[in-house]
Amino acid sequence: MNTDTIETVTGEKNMLAKTTQFKRMLQSDKLEFILEAHDGLSAKIVEEAGFKGIWGSGLAISAALGVRDNNEASWTQVLDVVEFMSDATNIPIMLDADTGYGNFNNVRRLVKKLEQKDVAAMCIEDKLFPKTNSFINGEAQELAKIDEFCGKIKAAKDTQSDPDFCVVARIEAFIAGWGLSEALKRAEAYYNAGADAILVHSKKSTAEDIFDCMEEGKDTCPVVIVPTMYYETPTDEFEKRNISLVIWANHLLRSSIKAMQETAAKIYNEKSLVSVEKEIVSVKEIFRLQNADELKQAENIYLPSSR
């Protein structure tokens, strides 16, 4: 479990606000990592594994809801999911808020609601609503106009009431087939508009787009990356280039799909639970993750005993 604490004058230990935890992670000199989750349970698993933060992946949340990553789930449905994730954990969540689900005005309302639900950060990308996942026909995807997207960033920063809430601006220039100069132009504009960090996305199997940006960008602001496609790049290469945050973007969803497919097929074929029982967690483990013991203790305090 994450134990970022501050000591008060009375010596009490208080957990840092999730926003502050996230901002410190973004701004630290160390390379940091967050992992995807898509519901309350997977969020808790990310936290228990030791991660300092959670990526509320649009791809994973939509897939877990049984819909496509094309804004088929409404923004309030996504908000409901991220609220369960936030309630289940003590580490910060960055929500993948796609394009902000509309224009600057939708972004303002989104920021207000995310802060109410104790979500520490959001990432918005410079595409058009409804978005399409970056790995589906990226070249056909239209980018937002730079000044319009800057307006969204400014609107978000002007709306947040907690100064540590973070807005990460995601550049889709490489995804949409534009080059380094377009990516750099956008990075500079978004940072000047108030973004706390820039996420540079790439669909290449090597990290060359990212490393070109790091070379030319000259350390002006924290950079966030998503190495889904260039997963073979050694992590110390990211460290060497001063990248701030790595998002492992979809790996709990993908591993759970494989596990569920295998279990479903086995039970279907064998018409028996015998061989799967030893391969899956116990029912007790579900109760532990749900913190069932706490309810037992609370009942002892609050529930009149009839016996």
Please tell me the distance from the alpha carbon of residue 33 to that of residue 207, in angstroms, as a whole number: 17
* Catalytic, out of 4, 29, 69, 212: 69
| E strand map for the chain | 5-7, 13-15, 32-37, 54-56, 93-96, 121-125, 166-171, 197-200, 223-225, 245-248
- Based on the shown chain and the rule CB under 5 A, indicate whether residue 36 belongs to the binding site for Mg ion: no
Please tell me the distance from the alpha carbon of residue 224 to that of residue 295, in angstroms, as a whole number: 39
Name the amino acid, one letter, at 194: G
- Based on the shown chain and the rule CB under 6 A, indicate whether residue 250 belongs to the binding site for ligand SPV: yes
Stretch that binds Mg ion, among 12-20, 76-84, 88-96, 152-160 (CB under 5 A): 88-96
Stretch that binds ligand SPV, among 24-32, 52-60, 101-109, 279-287 (CB under 6 A): 52-60
Is residue 91 within 8 Å of residue 44, measured between CB atoms?
no
| Three-class DSSP category at 251 | helix
**How much of the chain is helix, strand and coil, in % rounded to 5?**
45, 15, 40
- Based on the shown chain and the rule CB under 5 A, indicate whether residue 58 belongs to the binding site for Mg ion: yes
Residue selected from 59, 78, 168, 193 as contacting ligand SPV according to rule CB under 6 A: 59
User: Is 69 designated active site?
Assistant: yes
157 Rama sector, left if φ>0, alpha if ψ -120 to 50, beta otherwise: alpha
**Structure-token pair, residue 281:** 């967690």
Stretch that binds ligand SPV, among 53-61, 82-90, 157-165, 286-294 (CB under 6 A): 53-61
Residue count, binding to ligand SPV (CB under 6 A): 11
- Based on the shown chain and the rule CB under 6 A, indicate whether residue 58 belongs to the binding site for ligand SPV: yes
Please, what is the minimum distance in Å from the beta carbon of residue 250 to ligand SPV? 5
Backbone CA torsion sign across 206, 131, 120, 252 = negative
* String of contacts with Mg ion for each residue 90-129, x by CB under 5 A: ------x---------------------------------
Please, what is the minimum distance in Å from the beta carbon of residue 153 to ligand SPV? 17
**Structure-token pair, residue 17:** 């606000």
- Based on the shown chain and the rule CB under 6 A, indicate whether residue 134 belongs to the binding site for ligand SPV: yes
- Based on the shown chain and the rule CB under 6 A, indicate whether residue 133 belongs to the binding site for ligand SPV: yes
- Based on the shown chain and the rule CB under 6 A, indicate whether residue 86 belongs to the binding site for ligand SPV: no
Stretch that binds ligand SPV, among 58-66, 106-114, 265-273, 296-304 (CB under 6 A): 58-66
Q: How far is CA 122 from CA 19, 82, 139, in A?
A: 11, 11, 25
CA-based radius of gyration for the chain: 21
* Interacting residues toward ligand SPV by CB under 6 A: 57-60, 96, 133-134, 226, 228, 249-250
Q: List the catalytic residues.
A: 69
